Structure 1
Amino acid sequence: MTPFLAEITDKIIKENPDFSNTIWVFPSKRAGVFAANYLKKNNSKTIFAPEFLSIEAFITRLAVIEPASTETSLCLLYESYLETGIKDKESFSSFIGWGTTILQDFNEIDRYGVTAKKLYTHIQNLQEVSHWALEEDKTEMVKAYLKFWEILPELYERFTKKMLAQGIGHQGLLYKKAKENIAQFLIDLPATTFYFIGFNALNTSESDIIQYILSEKRGSIFWDLDQYFLENPLHEAGYFMRKHLKNWPYFQESKPEGVSNRYTSTEKKVNIYGVPKSVSQAQLIGEILNEFSQEQVLNTAIVLGDEELLNPVIHAIPNGLKANITMGAPLSGVPMATLVAHLFDLHTNNYSNGWHIKQVQDVLTHPYIKLLVEVNQYNAVNTFIYDCQKQNISSLSTDYINAAFNTSHTIISLLFKDKANVPAAFVSRFQELLWVLNDFSEKNKQPQISSEVRYFIEIFDGLSAQLTAFPFIDNLSGLKKIYLETLSKKRLSFSGDALEGLQLMGMLESRNLDFETVIIAHVNEGILPGGKSTNSYIPLSLKKIFGLPSFKEKDAVYAYHFYRLLQRAKNVYLLYNTATDVLEGGEPSRFVHQLKTQGIAKVQVNDQLAMPILDAVTPPLIEIKKDQSVIDQLLQKAKSGFSPSALNTYIRNPIDFYKRYVLKLKDPEILEELIAYNTFGTIVHDSLQALYTPAIGQVLTENHFKEFNQQLPHILTHFFEKHHSPTKSLKGKNLIAFSVLLQYLKDFLEYDQECAKKEAICIESLEKEYQMTLQIPGVSESVLFKGSLDRVDKRNGVTHIIDFKTGAVKPTDLKLKDWDGLNNSPERAKVLQLLSYALLYSQNHGNTPVKTGIYSFKNTQDGYMFFEDTLKPSNKNIVAEDTCNAFKEVLVGILQELFNIETPFVEKEV
């Protein structure tokens, strides 16, 4: 296998042996390092090397201004915003939320050569049209909204002038200036030849710059693309090259150089593995590497679709294998970043009675703080926390904390002297803490702490400079946002050989590089490619008109990088995550499906599911014997009532039941940064109850659904804020979660409306609890059985009980095939739950036959799915008295076993 860069280097040497006056430009700096190495290997003479530049470095040289950091750009953007004519200007901390998106839009406007005033005038006109009905009676909110669009051209002009006055620019501005300067640049370097190597997607500025150089006969361009992708008009990997061939005048006279047919002519084996979760993918990568010879490892690349896989994969690499890690670990994942987050929480939360115990505990138990505090006071932190918990103290005074520790202790004084709620004080105090940690780590030879401290000293020195330059950063909220913006750009670098051995990288780092064996992890839809999410205020329709990239172009970029890695590879391993969560469905990437259906003879595709290998030694299953105190606890529970979910917990794992209902252990309260499954479900249930409550006792009509749809956004916002977080500051996955919830509920209302058109639906009750008492043989007291029914309605005289689920449910989960196993099989949980609801309702309504079913928001295509009794010859969906009586016997049997003092709680393998 001859790598692309080796081919092009050899080609340039043959065509132009003297390349001392040449500049080679690559998509990345790393590609230039590899090209330099190939040049060294292919050339036996002593020569002056060409200059190797990444496209970013080349553009910076052309622009003659320096790149500005994102945080500096945001501050200058806010300064510009303050100078506009808009009234009631927002604070800096509020501005950052939408200012970041505006900055990204300005960046794209400049990179793609769009006239900002023209674009924003179009957007303003669109907004005016969409609010035309309010022309006579515009609210202040609508006026402010329209004014926002009106000031954007002015904001763009002020911001651009401000940056240029300081000799700096965001990335887009650098591209804009580079394009303006290209003619003079060529005049200044009359003897220089330029080679552009391995490009694919080009923004308008890049395209114009390269085309100008080519038109002046001052350079060449070499592409890295296979004929297979180029000639297929529907293949995403060839999207940009086909566009260049169509639009560039250069290609009317010249053929594209570098196009090959390696993809279809190289024998390759593609192994596709579906694996649950990141750790299992990492484990499988380690197993794959263990099977390789040393020679194969030396020409292998591991490419991670998601940076969260980095640490698991590093730890899964077999001992003895050296890897060069190029992508860098996020600095946000190191312990020092956690400490900063704790300190922000400590000083941001205002408590009139002192410091809150939760924040104090988080700070003191941080490993680095604990090391400093306990230098002379062994176990002081644990003792202090224990004493606070014992006394049930919720807030602490500074005097109380000082009394618990050595009052002269530098760290305690530094942390809790007073509230550092002024940005300058917070930064100054943390800088002081960093130097204390630095001295400690050097004295005690703690290289990890020393390494982290150096990064954070640099960050906080930068924050200190920002505070001096921009006095409007006047609260910790704004400071924290600037800090997080800075932190998100920082990476921990790893040492290694960039040219030899196993290479571990992200998809972008793989540009222009070729390997015989490629392992790509997290090849999931929504990751490769990245999906339709976009951070922009510019409507998609106008993006298309003005030539700005949308998700289509971004997907084509992912496609190119993915398939380019496969072009020359002989052995390919693709791993995707099969596990699902609230927002992701565990679906393999479309690229995986394309590979399985493309039908190329020399590309052998093998698809399989892989399960993680468990350790051979597993701990023994827990067994807890019952005594009278346990029975007494169960009798207490019998008075308050057992629910179907409690019994399903017992069936799934009796030890879980014992912990929750006997020991009464609660799950720890966790601050949800990302919405959890149970919270997701709670919001759905509460929203539906609020929407449908006014319709109880009524037959659903078109007017009902019209009102439901009008109320939905307000009701959802209320419950999202009640159970999770404020909606005004939503971003990232939480913003997606809110949008998913909104779409879920819209889809349900649309479906329910269609059902209401086909048959009259009368709402009987919502979230109503039903109860019944059971007499259990061997139990001295009656047992209460209860359940909350999400919705009961009547359709054509038949009572329907509906349970709403936000998780995935299949119709087969609701089939009763036999009565055996219902009392001990977790897979039958849904059947037990639905029969419980039917029994509870019928016992309270004179043994009324019912239909009971589930609506799953995860697989809406199945609509209402109803319980099915396959043992009956007809009316399989109706739960009548005979079925309820049979189920009641099963229920009594479960409770009889639960109260049997001779039957221990035995752990099940879950």
Structure 2
Amino acid sequence: MSNFIQHLAQYYFNKYQTNISEFCFVFPGRRAGLFFQQHLSTLIKAPLWSPKTITIHEFIEELTPYQIADKVSLVFELYQVFEEIYQTGTGFDEFLPWGEIIINDFDDIDKYRANAGQVFSNLVSIKEIEADYSFLSEEQINTIKSFWYTFNPNKLSEHQTEFIKIWEKLYEVYQLLNERLSKKGMAYEGAVYRCIAEDIDNKKTLNIPYPKIVFVAFNALNTCEKKLFHHLAIANKADFIWDYTPWRLPATQSTTKGGSRMKEHEAVRFIQENLLNYPPPHDWHFPHNRDLPEITITSVATDTAQTQVVNQYLHNMPVHESKAQLDSALQTAVVLTDESMLLPVLHAIPGHLDMVNITMGYPLKNTPAYGLLELIFDLQKNGRRSKSGKSWFYFRNVLPILTHQYIEPLNPDLHKEIAYSMVKRNQIYIEVSDLKKSNLLQSIFRIVEKSDDFSAYLIDLLQQVFSGLQKNKQGKALEKEFIYQMHLTITQLSDLIAKLGAQVSPDTWIKLFKRAAELKSIPFSGEPLKGLQVMGILETRALDFENLVILNMNEGVFPQTGTTNSMIPYSLRKAFLLPTIEHQDAIFAYYFYRLIHRSKKVRLLYNSSAQGMRTGEMSRFLFQLKYEYPSDKLFFTTAVDKVNISKTKAFFVEKDETVMEILNQYLEGGTKQLSPSGLSTYFECPLRFYYKYILKAMEPDEISEDIDPRIFGNLFHETVEEIYKPFVGKEIKSTDIDLLSKNNQGIEKALRASFSKYFNQALGQSDFNDIQGKNILVFDIIKKYVLQFLRVEKQHAPFLLTGLEKKVKGNIKLSDKTICIGGTIDRLDHKDGSVRVIDYKTGGGDEYFKNVEELFLQNKHKTKKAIFQTLLYSHILKQNEYASSDYLPGVVWIKKIFTSSDYSLKIGTPASNTALSLQKVEKEYIEQLKQHLNDLFNPNIAFTQTDHTDSCRSCSYRSICGKQ
């Protein structure tokens, strides 16, 4: 392979020898300069001062007395200017995103030497355009006209009026900003470029201490750079070395498959002009790769599959141990067009490749340290202070902090205890005094009201976390680096705000911090001149590799789609020769084709699946290769994941001695009673019964701030129970129910008591009211249900209320054992000589059944559960209390309370049925029940999975038994 940087080093060393020490080599990025120096070191035989290697930005900084300000300082200055001119009263946090857009526009205007006054003119009159812009080409003038034609002064829309209102003063903003920055010795980068170009126009001498500057591998030059290059070329102080793809130039293009010649390509859009205006030295021979690379385009189904392909590709790469270390560094590169793929790719690198250099930084915003601070920001945002001075935090902000990977290990027992207590008590808002159980928690859980205190608050937290990680010996070097970089970012932002003397709100401080963190990446330490290179696309400029793997070659990722945010409309950008989307596309095309030009083997991967905003479409560059590249050098493959899908085996649990010991506790003389709901669980799925009642594998508790159907039913049930408590043992008449209905205060008191049980705080007695948000609506809804229930109850009055939440127990005798059955009846009353056994049900279910057998079938029992349970309660009561009475099972269907007043259950069909009583079905019911109880207590019958898979959808154990 003919290496561009190596060829460059050989050319200048052979031509200038020791004089090269005085030269300055300007590269697009630092990485290329490092490789250049290393190549140069292999050529010298005696000690030699290295020539200076810098980037174009560093070179420009050397030519100006101004300090190039950081983005935050610039936006602060712009905000003050903007408010002085527009007087909008907008807060800085609202202005921040707009400020960055305006600064970028000013930067483009200056770098491309557009006349800011003319760009920001309000040219509604076409005559003004023709008069003021006569120096522009006809095409540019027509483009400007096409934009302003839509602004009819007599028919301006609201948005057009607002646009012009801002637009007509932007030039004033531009001027005043530059004046203020200049007085402070500051400037944005574009202004520095503009000043250098103006100095050249004014024949001012540039302070350049080098006899020769060599500009290497540039592509898209802005107007100021062109001016500088032209000035240095005339003075014979600069060489220009271009790196490009020769087979994309019109003069050297090969024919396509069909025999026609390729059209001018966007990859060389800028290079052609550069070669013409700034030709390289006459004796420079461009290192052309005569053999085109072998390219394989691979479609993958997921991003994870891309990493698997990378792993296989690197496994098959030969290891060149005998090669020089610099050659090995240029052997293979993995190029990431999407920085989020960095960690997955690092995990995919085979273990035998111990020399890996990562030239791209890891985004600070993707670190656990940044994640912790985001949790802290949310904590502060949702924190509240009551009138009494108490501070409260929202549970959804507290729990993630207690369980964060940096916080939880520092005192695991304490943090788990606090989290468990919150869940157990269902605390939605937690008072600070309940959280301050250690110095660390005391530092975290306090409300910060002033932005000046934010820095100290966060730095104190990070220092404690850092010290804790060291003390517990759990802090890896990478984790400590994450925390250090976060600490550094906070300190820098705090110093900057103090320097500017600006007063910002906590929200603005957080936005500034997030913006600073988004722009920062953590450099990886390593030897850049050894082994496998993992790079971002920008780091590849001027470098060549024999073997390349490029990931995420998808349209929208590489190249990116859509223009950058700008206040300057596309038409005006195009008219004033400012960079547009076409400019961006040409730059991406140059990066791609230049990179693959001198390679031998190239593997291009793209994700073919459509997910979210991704279309799964491969990059336009891959389509270009498909139709224009020689077919004998281009291959298409699809990465196929090998997935073995085996049939899930039926899962069951045998009843061993331990299981039978637990079951025997339900027998006469034992310590437990088998409840009707437990039996329902067994009928629906024996294996679920095993998990829940034998293993006691309960679901983990969660804090519930919303009222799910279960809690809704409990609230209704307990409110009604509280209202009826004074009437137990008494006859309830219609007049009593009228009084209850009118007692609005009493109903609300009972309902609030129910809420307090499920939502922890004693409502109305705390200085922090728990009923809020959606629960306010639920409170009113339940109250309406209670009032409707009382109206229905009036239709059933009079009746004798004999029990609420009545606990009962009885026995079912089998041939060789007696089983204890017991549970709690929601309500028991007497009416017309019959005993009504009533259950309250929030969910759905059937109020009728065809025959008793249906009550025990797996595919039927769920909807017949209420009938089964009330019959069983009736049978138990008959054993213990009123043997001669007629028992009527009934259900209050809360969902139907507004449409039906009938509590009775029926046997038959919806069209033809009769009211259910225990006497009608008791014999057959008990016989069927005994058969199933015999199976339950039979040691030879295992606990098996249900065949009715609909029951698995809401089962908590489906992932354990393989029914997920």
Q: For residues 628 and 577 of structure 1, what CA distance do their matches in structure 2 show?
A: 54
- 1:42 aligns to what SS in structure 2? coil
Which residue of the other structure, out of 201, 204, 213, is the alignment partner of 2:232? Answer: 213
Query: Which of residues 345, 351, 362 is equivalent to 1:319?
Result: 351
1:431 matches 2:459: yes
Cα deviation, 1:207-265, whole Å, max 9, x if unaligned, reads 2211211122222101111321111543121111124356x3x56x9879665542xx2
Q: In the alignment, which residue of structure 2 is the partner of 1:31?
A: 32
Query: Aligned partner of 2:89: which letter?
Result: K
Does the Cα contact within 8 Å between 2:293 and 2:597 map onto a contact in 1?
no
Q: Is the 8 A contact 2:435 2:442 kept in 1?
A: no
Equivalent position to 1:464, from 485, 488, 494: 494
Q: Which residue in the other structure is 1:606 paired with?
A: 635
Q: Does 1:229 align with 2:248?
A: yes
Q: Which residue of 2 aligns with 1:149?
A: 167
- The residue number in structure 2 matching 1:13 is 13
CA distance in 1, matches of 2:304, 2:209: 55
1:115-146 Cα offsets, whole Å, 9 max, x none, are 2221111588889864546669x86x875543
Q: For 1:833-875, what per-residue CA distance to the aligned partner results, in whole angstroms no more than 9, with x for missing partners?
A: xxxxxxxxxxxxxxxxxxxxxxxxxxxxxxxxxxxxxxxxxxx
Amino acid at match of 1:198: A
* Cα deviation, residue 320, structure 1: 3.1
Deviation at 1:547, TM superposition (A): 0.9
Residues of 2 paired with 1:121 and 1:634: CA distance? Answer: 80
Establish whether residue 81 from structure 1 lines up as the match of residue 82 from structure 2: yes
Q: Which residue of 1 aligns with 2:102?
A: 102
What do residues 790-817 of structure 1 show as CA deviations (whole Å, max 9, x unaligned)?
xxxxxxxxxxxxxxxxxxxxxxxxxxxx
| 1:131-142 equivalent positions in 2, closer than 5 A | 132=152
Letter in 2 for 1:550: T
Question: Is 1:554 aligned with 2:584?
Answer: yes
Q: 1:191 to 1:587 in 2, by over 3 A?
A: closer
Amino acid in structure 1 at the alignment position of 2:427: I
Cα distance, 1:54–1:618 mapped onto 2, change above 3 Å: farther
Q: TM-score, normalised by structure 1?
A: 0.65
Distance across 2 between alignment mates of 1:178 and 1:594 = 40
Match of 1:40 in 2: 41
Aligned to 1:278: 303
2:633 counterpart letter in structure 1: Q
Amino acid at match of 1:107: D
Aligned to 2:212: 193
* Distance change >3 Å, CA 290–CA 399, structure 1 → 2: same
Q: Say if 2:322 is the partner of 1:301.
A: no
Shift in alpha-carbon separation, 1:587–1:128, aligned structure 2, 3 A: closer
CA contact (8 A) 2:239 2:281 kept: no
Aligned position for 2:54:
53
Q: Which residue of structure 1 aligns with residue 185 of structure 2?
A: 167
- In structure 2, the partner of 1:845 is none
Q: Which amino acid aligns with 1:609?
A: T
Q: Secondary structure at the match of 2:121?
A: helix
- CA deviations on 1:350-405 (whole Å, 9 max, x unpaired) are 53562111111122222222234x1xxx4221221122122111111112223xx2
Structure 2: distance between partners of 1:268 and 1:451: 40
Structure-2 separation of matches of 1:124 and 1:368: 60
**Relative to structure 1, is the Cα distance of residues 612 and 494 closer, same or farther in structure 2, using a 3 angstrom cutoff?**
farther
Q: After the TM superposition, which residues 556-575 of structure 1 pair with which residues of structure 2 at under 5 Å, given as runs? A: 556-575=586-605
Equivalent in the alignment of 1:593: 623
Shift of 1:187: 5.6
* Deviations 1:170-224, CA, capped at 9 Å, x for gaps: 2222322333455878664476111111111111111221121112222210111
Aligned residue for 1:224, secondary structure, equals: coil
The answer on whether the counterparts of 1:226 and 1:259 sit within 8 Å (CA) in structure 2 is: no
Q: RMSD of aligned C-alpha atoms? A: 4.2
**C-alpha distance in 2, partners of 1:594/1:669?**
55
Q: Which residue of 1 aligns with 2:894?
A: none
Within 2, Cα distance between the matches of 1:346 and 1:311? Answer: 29
Return the alpha-carbon distance in structure 1 between the equivalents of residues 123 and 314 of structure 2. Answer: 53
Following the alignment from structure 1 to structure 2, what is the Cα–Cα distance between the partners of residues 82 and 197?
A: 43
**Count of matched residue pairs:** 658
Distance in 1, matches of 2:124 and 2:498, equals: 36
Q: Is the 8 A contact 2:2 2:287 kept in 1?
A: no
Q: Which runs of 5+ in 1 are unaligned?
A: 637-662, 671-721, 723-772, 784-893
Q: Distance in 1 between matches of 2:682 and 2:164?
A: 63
Contact 2:245 2:593 in 1 (8 A): no
Any idea what the Cα deviations from partners look like across 1:419-475, whole Å, max 9, x if unmatched? 103211122211222232343344445234432232122211122223323455421
**Match of residue 687 from structure 1:** none
Using the alignment, how far apart are the partners of 1:619 and 1:462 within structure 2? 59
Shift of 1:33: 0.8
| Aligned-partner Cα distance in 1 for 2:215–2:848 | 81
Identical residues among aligned pairs (%): 26
Deviation at 1:311, TM superposition (A): 0.3
Q: What is the distance in 2 between the residues matched to 1:669 and 1:21?
A: 72
Contact 1:123 1:538 in 2 (8 A): no
Give how far 1:47 is off.
3.1
Give the match's secondary structure for 1:518: strand
2:396 partner amino acid: K
Partner amino acid for 1:462? Q
Does structure 1 conserve the Cα–Cα contact (< 8 Å) formed by 2:220 and 2:270?
yes
The change in CA–CA distance for 1:188 and 1:286 in structure 2 (over 3 A counts) is same
Q: How does 1:368-383 map to 2 (within 5 A)?
A: 368-372=406-410, 374=411, 378-383=412-417
Gaps of 5+ in 2: 126-143, 251-261, 322-327, 387-391, 654-674, 685-697, 706-772, 774-846, 861-945
Offset, 1:487: 0.4
- Contact between 1:225 and 1:258, CA under 8 Å: does it hold in 2? no
Counterpart pick for 2:368 among 335, 351, 376:
335
* 1:398 match: 432
Tell me the amino acid that sits aligned with residue 110 of structure 1.
Answer: D
Q: Could you say what secondary structure the match of 2:221 adopts?
A: coil
- Note closer, same or farther for the CA distance 1:10–1:128 as it changes in structure 2 (3 Å cut): closer
Query: Partner of 1:802 in structure 2?
Result: none
Greater Rg by CA: 2
Cα 1:133–1:318 change in 2 (3 A) is same
Distance 1:360 1:463 in 2: 26
Matches within 5 A, 1:440-589: 440-445=468-473, 446=475, 447-589=477-619
After TM superposition, the structure 1 = structure 2 runs for residues 604-753 of structure 1, keeping only pairs within 5 Å, are 604-612=633-641
- Confirm or deny: 8 A CA contact 2:428 2:703 kept in the other structure: no
1:239 maps to which of 269, 273, 282: 269
* Distance change (3 Å), C-alpha of 1:547 and 1:440: same
The more displaced of 330-339 and 363-372 is 363-372
**Amino acid aligned to 2:363:** P
Give the Å deviation of 1:325.
0.4
Amino acid at match of 1:302: V
TM norm structure 2 = 0.62
Which residue, 397, 406, 422 being the options, matches 1:388? 422
Q: 1:98 to 1:21 in 2, by over 3 A?
A: same
> What is residue 757 of structure 1 aligned with on the other side?
none
| 1:6 counterpart SS class | helix
